């Protein structure tokens, strides 16, 4: 008997409305390591995106997408990606899954989709992964596709890479799909195996204070792509499949083989960052959360001096958090703006926040937004 791939399965499920929610994320440590096949340790946030999928109103044969954050809906004919019309960028994160499923042989019926997100956009908290993952999970459920964990992850990553055209590395989608409350998610970005690691903030009297610097993202798209191709070039010159294959013990030898200072800095960042992720996971497994602080700070220094993806606003926030007694602080996410996290005692959340505000005022920067974050659940269905 011929076997059916999930994409060819007959669509037998009949439901009127399917609702899923998927979260944004904070990355505790492991920046720009995902597209180097390395290690990351993000956690899912309480804020997220809710996606509703329902059959289109009778007589309408197409896909409509409405966002509570956008004035105009987008309505398109059903098609694959190659025949996709020109639509506003935000809607490509939603329509991308429909286009790719169509390309993979699924006869996706006429549908209405609605999305509503409370992840601040442009803050580096992965509002895009929340959007893509909530829609993809809702579609899989609504259409009865039965995609397994790997297929769901691959589809969400392909939406961002192929349908939107953002060369991101997959960490955000993986944690939005698989995050667990009370835990960070240790991800091997080569095998895509994940393991939930306890992140017991309250039990240690600690908090993750987030400072959204609201710094304008300066040339972030081009810089991200440049870092990614620089890392790939360095791996090619070193004769390894990816920088993940250079270990901390090999680092000096690897650096000695490269004569380009920029590539040397990229390699040093990625190799030491992978090593920091492994060290943080080890400490968390041993129940030594307060001891991870210096590794978070070392990660920031590496992003600032070697990978060169920080901006004055994030460096100012990190310095202010340290001066206010944080155990560790670093920028989180792709860089060139966005959020900084500080590991602080519960008692010092207010004063550490005040210190960041005061430092921003002194430097003449705009007002930052400050809040605490704790690990929440990954994508989950919501009663419709």
Q: Which residues are catalytic?
A: 172
Q: How far is the CB of 330 from ligand GLA (least distance, A)?
A: 11
What tokens does 348 get? 């010092």
Q: Specify whether the CB–CB gap between 333 and 42 falls below 8 A.
A: no
Residue 35 or 90 with smaller CB distance to ligand GLA: 35
Q: For ligand GLA, give the closer residue by CB, 27 or 136.
A: 27
Return residues touching ligand GLA (CB under 6 A).
27, 31-32, 34-35, 168-172, 333-334
Q: List, in sequence order, every residue forming a beta bridge with 332; answer none if it has no partner.
A: 339
SS3 169: coil
Query: What is the β-pairing status of strands 74-76 and 206-212?
Result: unpaired
Shortest distance in whole angstroms from residue 304 CB to ligand GLA:
14
Instruction: Find, among 317, 256, 345, 328, the residue nearest to 291 by Cα.
Output: 328
Tell the smallest beta-carbon distance from residue 86 to ligand GLA (Å): 24
In which element (H, E) is residue 328 found? strand 328-332
Question: Residue 214 has what DSSP assignment?
Answer: -
Residue recorded with tokens 């920091």: 276
Q: Which of 172, 212 has the CB closer to ligand GLA?
A: 172
In the bound state with ligand GLA, the residue whose beta carbon lies nearer, of 158 and 172, is 172
Task: Say how far apart CA 332 and CA 337 lie, in whole Å.
Answer: 9
Query: Nearer to ligand GLA by C-beta: 230 or 333?
Result: 333
Q: Give the three-class secondary structure for 85.
A: coil
Measured CA angle at 186 (ends 180, 191), to 5 deg? 115
Where does the chain have alpha helices with state H? Answer: 89-103, 127-143, 149-158, 171-178, 220-238, 251-257, 261-285, 293-302, 312-323, 349-363
Between residues 82 and 191, which has the closer beta carbon with respect to ligand GLA?
Answer: 191
* Number of C-beta neighbours around residue 85 at 10 A: 10
Rounded least distance, CB 246 to ligand GLA, Å: 18
Tell me how far, at minimum, the Cβ of 177 lies from ligand GLA, in Å: 14
Whole-angstrom distance, CA of residue 33 vs CA of residue 4: 35
Minimum CB distance to ligand GLA, residue 165 (Å)? 13
């Amino acid at each position: 008997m011929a076997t059916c791939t999930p994409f060819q399965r007959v669509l037998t499920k009949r439901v009127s409305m399917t609702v899923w929610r998927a979260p944004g994320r904070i990355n505790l440590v492991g920046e720009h390591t995902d597209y180097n096949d390395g290690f990351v340790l993000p956690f899912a946030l309480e804020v997220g995106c809710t996606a509703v999928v329902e059959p289109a109103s009778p007589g309408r044969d197409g896909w409509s997408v409405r966002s509570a954050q956008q004035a105009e809906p987008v309505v398109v004919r059903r098609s694959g990606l190659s025949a996709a019309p020109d639509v506003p960028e935000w809607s490509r994160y939603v329509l991308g899954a429909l286009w790719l499923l169509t390309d993979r042989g699924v006869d996706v019926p006429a549908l209405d989709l609605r999305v509503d997100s409370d992840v601040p956009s442009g803050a580096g908290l992965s509002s895009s992964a929340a959007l893509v993952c909530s829609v993809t999970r809702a579609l899989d459920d609504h259409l009865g596709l039965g995609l397994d964990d790997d297929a769901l992850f691959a589809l969400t990553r392909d939406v961002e890479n192929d349908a939107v055209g953002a060369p991101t590395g997959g960490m955000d989608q993986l944690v939005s799909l698989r995050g667990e409350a009370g835990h960070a998610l240790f991800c091997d970005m080569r095998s895509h195996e994940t393991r939930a690691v306890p992140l017991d903030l309250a039990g240690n009297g600690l908090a993750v204070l987030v400072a959204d610097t609201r710094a304008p993202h300066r040339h972030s798209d081009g810089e991200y792509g440049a870092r990614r191709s620089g890392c790939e070039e360095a791996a090619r010159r070193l004769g390894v499949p990816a920088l993940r294959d250079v270990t901390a013990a090999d680092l000096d030898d690897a650096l000695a083989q490269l004569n380009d200072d920029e590539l040397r800095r990229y390699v040093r960042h990625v190799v030491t960052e992978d090593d920091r992720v492994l060290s943080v996971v080890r400490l968390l497994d041993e129940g030594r959360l307060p001891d991870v602080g210096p590794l978070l700070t070392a990660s920031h220094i590496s992003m600032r001096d070697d990978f060169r993806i920080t901006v004055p606003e994030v460096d100012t926030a990190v310095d202010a958090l340290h001066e206010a007694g944080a155990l560790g602080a670093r920028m989180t996410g792709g860089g060139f703006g966005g959020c900084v996290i500080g590991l602080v005692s519960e008692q010092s959340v207010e004063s550490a926040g005040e210190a960041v505000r005061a430092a921003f005022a002194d430097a003449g920067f705009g007002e930052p937004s400050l809040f605490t974050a704790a690990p929440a659940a990954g994508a989950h269905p919501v009663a419709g």
